[in-house]
Structure 1
Amino acid sequence: MTNESAPDTGDLRWHKALDPNELPEGRVTAVSFGGTTVCMTHYDGQYAAIDNACPHQGGPLGEGSIEKGLLRCPWHGWDFDPLTGQSPGDHDDCTLVYAVEERDDGIYVGLPPERVRERTVSDVMVETMTAWGVSQVWGIVGHSNLGLADAFREASERGDLSYYGVRHEGAAAFAASAYGKLTGEPAACFAIAGPGATNLLTGLWDANVDRAPVLALTGQVATQVLGTGNFQEVDLEAAYGDVALFEQTVLPNSDHAELMTRAAKTALLEGGVSHLVFPDEVQTIPADGAKAGSPEGRLTRRDIAPPSASIQEAVDLLADATRPLIIVGHGARFDMDRVVALAEHLDCPVVTTFKAKGQLSDTHPLAGGVLGRSGTPIASHFMNESDLLLVFGASFSNHTGISEYKRIVHVDHDPMVLGKHHSVDVPVWGDVGVTVDILRDRLNELDLHAESQRAEVAERWDIWRAEKATRRDQPPERGVNYATVFDAMSRLLPENAIVPVDVGNNTYAFGRYFECTDHTVLMSGYLGSIGFAFPAALGAWAATREPDSPFAGRPVVSVSSDGGFGQYMGELTTAVKYDMNLTHVLLTDDELGKISKEQRDGGWPVWQTDLVNPDFAAYAENCGARGFRVESPAALEPALEDALSFDGPALVEVLTDANPV
């Protein structure tokens, strides 16, 4: 029996592997060059280079040792001759051996010409994915997704997508969810089998309940051992069963382009998560000329008009109303110009759900701010005084508190959302923008009873701003009070900033005190997940890098408390790695302040809500970002200005008390 040698084409490529005397006698080491890793051995005065992967389980022979004249695999103890790669006895499972030359300046290894990379199933699916417009991927490369990762690398080098390696898969899912909420287009998150895939779930549930389009792409153990309880095997179809609108394990004989087409189409049209599971060996199956899929001929226009009878019922109520109020939710975010035109025709106020904060500038003379628990008394006033609610793209969350006893016209593109929690007077199924235009055209022909509320809106803002000024004057227990923080941010943030916010007292205060101009606010809406803000800033920043995007070049400023930031603070190094120009405002109160408040309000003792924190500004500097620490009101504005002007990731830590009022 002879050992297997690397093919000698007569045109070997020689690579220096070791300096003279670098590898001691009787030792082995792994060396990588030219896209190949070899196990270098030094035994009996000779050098050899053999394949680093054990032929049995792929164990790294370069991490083994020479014992009694034999190289032992570190994974399962199989022995090989350290110079020939041959197994002892009559066994024929030997390793590949490469040519070696000892030269004056070191030890060289000869490799055959590099093989042309073969197009794989993963390439077909990634090409399909990018054809559907998925150009952003966040994730972690690992041992059970390497074939798919290599397809991402190829697409990235072609300029078809951008890939961001994160520190925790949960951040990848939140970043993809935030990107989908911001743009309405799907992004992807990527993980290994087992724990990597399960770590995605919280961010994917955020996308699911807020209807953000996301592709989840996970590795899996090889199909040969599926169902046997193999290392890191989790039944991922079961684990993702409720969170995914579309889900499929990719098999060797699947129609691979069609699977990715279905996944992208479902995420885009239905708004939510599509999940594809990639068993290890399937990822590298040759594509055999398979064509990628595309959206051509697979998508319909979605700007559908509502039934004429629904329009007539809505027009009748609107024509009769004296104090109509328009309420917009996140589902109206792409049609705000048309909604505002209708409001101006009716001269009625417009308020938003919390998730829709920023969709209308608070400087507009008909803007009434946010309605609900995180909102303003302005919005509450007009809700109470209204005689008709015209609701666009809102889902009637109990957090918003839209009064169900009022007369209601509710417009949404999803018929299941209409009357979801209680009856409404006129449910209107249609595209928000199309419906608004039809309503405005029909109302133009009628004499309306609506009285102008414009002066009343201005009066209510004057009352609220005077109230906010008194709250700014209220001394905090320490540091800076919330009203002062958000007043400064309202004045200093760029008017078109994208603002991801977290969950907790900081967010309630943001809803009340921060005044939007052309800002776009992102949040974890129905899931209300703490930790959302900073990973969301990564996703938003990626959207600002796309040259043809309406968000191109816009600044990103995220807001959280110490409780939320602590969950994904490692992602600050991700922002540094990719030189993301974003600012994070961190409100530190050393406790889970909202939970402490709930315990007090519910008659419970305050228990286990205190936090032990580092100096977050110093932490930011240790990560390679800029860090600013604010302990007094006088230091707030200079720190914000310096952070916002810094070209790169910056963090402003503001010490606050736990009272958001």
Structure 2
Amino acid sequence: MDAQDLDWIKVGHVKDLPEGRVKTVTARTTSICLSHFEGQWAAMDNHCPHQRGPLGEGSIEKGSDGKCWIRCPWHGWDFDPLTGTPPGGHEDSGQKLYPLRIDGDEIYIGLDPEPPHERTVTDVMAETMVNWGVKRVFGMVGHSNLGLADAIRRQVDKGALGYIGIRHEGAAAFAASAYGKLTGKPAACLTIAGPGATNLLTGLWDAKVDRSPVLALTGQVQTQVFGPGAFQDIDLKSAFEAVSKFSQPVLSTSNHAELMSLALKTALVERDVANLIFPDDVQTNPSSREAGKPEGRLGGTGITPSGEDLAKAVEMINAAKRPVIVLGYGAKDVRDKVVALAEKLGAPVLTTFKGKGLIPDTHPLAAGVLGRSGTPIASWFMNEADLIVSLGSSFANHTGIAPYKTIIQVDFERMQLGKFHLVTLPVWGEIGTFCEAIVDQVLKPADAPDQAGELVERWTIWRAEKDLRLSEDGGRGIHSAAVFKALSDLCPPDAIIPVDVGNNTYSFGRYFEPCGQRILMSGYLGSIGFSLPAALGAWSATQDFEEFRGRKVISISGDGGFGQYAMEFTTAVKYGMDITHILLNNSELGKISKEQRSGEWPVWETNLTNPSFAAFARLCGGHGHRVTDPAELKDAIADAIAHNGPSLVEIITDADLV
């Protein structure tokens, strides 16, 4: 091709490369080894044909005959800079050379006009993701997922996908898990082979046990080196077998659109983890297949309980004088129907900890959280109840539903019914359908006590107790009750609140009074470090779904939890995320210290050495404020919430005042 027909791409300036040196440059997407020796300039393919070593990271070496050679930094293969040929004995005839010219002081490489993009296997699969409604990918681009990453990039450039580049793959999995918990839709997490993939596992287990749909896209080594122990080669299918409901390698012969469709259908229907493993060499294989679509692949989700079970439930409810409803996380999407049933009965609504906030504490029938992280109000009403109607609760030990009570349990998963002990009436059906079917048939007996009035009394007692605790001062920091009173007063009613684990979370469950906020947590896994990555996922949902648009994200953790993924604060800064993080810093793994003491163990190795997290937030480019005086709490939290971007309030707290 004549020089005038080439695309001349500027790759640098002559001062960038001294005499006797080589350098890697990129023209469009072509990696080139640029060399400067004996007053001459040359450009060749940057990849050594041996193992694709980067020649531009090598050196110019003179042979015994005085001739100059470019030497590969990996295994010492040599190439003539002007011809690309080796001195002899190599498997390849030589390297491709590129036309080069210097115009003034600027260096240009001549490339053939860019051909149209050839559709690849991963293009088909990325398009299938979009067709199935995937809107967000969290991940890290690396050497064994570059073809897949480029297919995702093309969808991002079209505006069909959003991408968040995280600092640790574990954060990607937690972000995707939180995104699924909030929206019910799967997000994807992208990693390389080996350690990148295994770093996902904790976050994926969180998604699995809390029934959050997630798609894991893991790079893999080339198929030709499977098994014998190549760099970063591990058996990913076995590694992901326990944590995923669906895990398959993507091979050249796979039906790629169908494979992605099955993965996403599994994530959605089973509310579980689906994993696809992408060998490096398969990712860029050409493909002419059409992308997959969900039409004709999904049915309705309503399950109507049997008429016999409905009739029995109505009979039991109408006979009860002190019924209570336990509202669990499994009923999150039909909470309005549950509340309507409670209002018909005048029945107090107790939530599980995972269900905190599904009914506002401002509602006349709200009794707060039941269990270890709960209120004495909820415990009192459970003890007094003559019937418990459990809707979407798994009967976890943390919640502590009394098994000896008369219980109606409704769940759309039959295995959850009476899973840990027998219940009086197990009802298989969708919770919203159950509530709609019985609400017009149930009634409050004329001689039933006024439980709504009792709730007013119990809330008055509990709030007075909380106010008394505000005066407690051990001289080591602020009482957590003061933190969550301030947050209760200032938190926007539509905020999304990811919480961590530890004493800070127990105090949140006990003291924070939700008035419409949506709360996310690592429920069954109880993983420390969840809240900040979850905030990344929640903020992404506010960009992807109209129903969450404009909602503030406020995450909460202790110093131990924040330290797990602290660098993800820079991710929030990079993408301009409107996230406020409330950090309770007691320089201790306080919950573990408490467990050691209660188990008659000596307190050992729970102390933490911390920097100023507020200063850290400012160094990262966000807003940071450190609070040591309770009088400063409200102003500091209000300023952080008002800040348009990532902000952090570090509150020095007393580990014993929880």
What TM-score does the superposition give when structure 1 sets the normalisation length? 0.97
Report SS of the residue matched to 2:414: coil
Letter in 1 for 2:206: D
1:75 aligns with 74
The residue aligned with 1:507 is 505
Is it true that 1:119 corresponds to 2:126 in the alignment?
no
Deviations 1:197-245 (A, max 9, x none): 0000000000000000001110001111111111001111111111101
CA contact under 8 A between 2:27 and 2:109: conserved in structure 1? no
Contact 1:324–1:450 (Cα < 8 Å) also in 2: no
- CA shift at 1:448, angstroms? 7.1
Name the amino acid aligned to 1:614. P
Q: 1:48 and 2:42 equivalent?
A: yes
Which residue number in structure 2 is paired with residue 457 of structure 1? 455
Partner of 1:425: 424
Q: Is the 8 A contact 2:147 2:280 kept in 1?
A: yes
Which structure 2 residue ranges, 5 or more long, are not aligned?
A: 63-67
1:172 shift after superposition: 0.3
CA distance in 2, matches of 1:136, 1:451: 50
Give the aligned partner of residue 145 of structure 1: 145
Quote the residue 1:596 is aligned against.
593
Distance 1:8 1:516 in 2: 71
Question: How far is 1:110 from its partner?
Answer: 1.1
Q: Tell me the alpha carbon deviations over residues 152-182 of structure 1, each in whole angstroms, 9 at most, x when there is no partner.
A: 1001011111000000000000000001111
Does residue 214 in structure 1 map to residue 208 in structure 2?
no
Distance across 1 between alignment mates of 2:299 and 2:448: 38
Question: 1:582 — aligned with what?
Answer: 579
C-alpha distance after superposition, 1:109-130 (max 9, x if no partner): 2111112221111111111111
Aligned to 1:59: 53
Aligned equivalents of 2:109, 2:235: Cα separation in 1? 44
| Matching residue of 1:87 | 86
Contact 2:24 2:57 in 1 (8 A): yes
Query: Counterpart of 2:17 in 1: which secondary structure?
Result: coil
User: 2: CA distance between counterparts of 1:380 and 1:21?
Assistant: 75
In structure 1, stretches of 5+ residues that fail to align are 1-6
Q: Would you say the 8 A contact 2:212–2:272 is kept in 1?
A: yes
2:557 is aligned with 1:563: no
2:655 is aligned to 658
Structure-2 change in CA distance of 1:90 and 1:195 (3 Å):
closer
Letter in 2 for 1:474: E
Q: 1:502 to 1:82 in 2, by over 3 A?
A: same
CA distance in 2, matches of 1:477, 1:277: 54
What's the offset of the Cα at 1:9?
A: 7.6
Paired residue type of 2:570: T
Tell me if structure 2 keeps the 8 A contact 1:586–1:651. yes
Q: Whole-Å Cα distance in 1 between the matches of residues 13 and 521 of structure 2?
A: 55
Kept in 1, the 8 Å contact 2:45–2:95? The answer is yes
Aligned-pair identity (%): 60
What does 1:314-333 align with in structure 2 at a 5 Å threshold? 314-333=313-332
Q: Which of 453, 465, 468 is residue 467 of structure 1 equivalent to?
A: 465
Contact 1:476 1:656 in 2 (8 A): no
In structure 2, distance between residues paired with 1:41 and 1:407: 82
Distance 1:236 1:8 in 2: 49
Residue type matched to 2:532 in 1? F
| In structure 1, distance between residues paired with 2:456 and 2:106 | 81
Measured in 1, the distance between the counterparts of 2:474 and 2:116 equals 66
Deviations 1:425-463 (A, max 9, x none): 11111111111100112326x967644311001110000
RMSD: 1.3
User: Against the structure 1 CA distance between its residues 472 and 558, is the aligned structure 2 distance closer, same or farther, given a 3 Å change threshold?
Assistant: same
Residue correspondence of structure 1 range 102-181 to structure 2 within 5 A: 102-181=102-181
* Aligned residues of 1:213 and 1:268 also touching (Cα < 8 A): yes
1:236 aligns with 2:236: yes
Q: Which residue of 2 aligns with 1:622?
A: 619
- 1:356-367 equivalences under 5 Å are 356-367=355-366
Residues 442, 218 of structure 1: alpha-carbon distance in 2 compared, 3 angstrom cutoff: same
Q: Distance in 1 between matches of 2:237 and 2:320?
A: 51
Give per-residue Cα distances to partners, 1:45-92, cap 9 Å, x unaligned.
211111111122111110000111211111121110012111113654
Q: Note if contact 2:350-2:367 (Cα within 8 Å) is conserved in structure 1.
A: yes
Residue correspondences, number: 652
Kept in 2, the 8 Å contact 1:182–1:522? The answer is yes
Contact 1:556 1:581 in 2 (8 A): yes
The alignment's TM-score, normalised by the length of structure 2, stands at 0.97
Contact kept? 2:3, 2:110, Cα under 8 Å? no
Deviations, residues 131-170 of structure 1 (Å, cap 9, x unaligned): 1111111010000000110011001011111000000000
Letter in 2 for 1:409: I
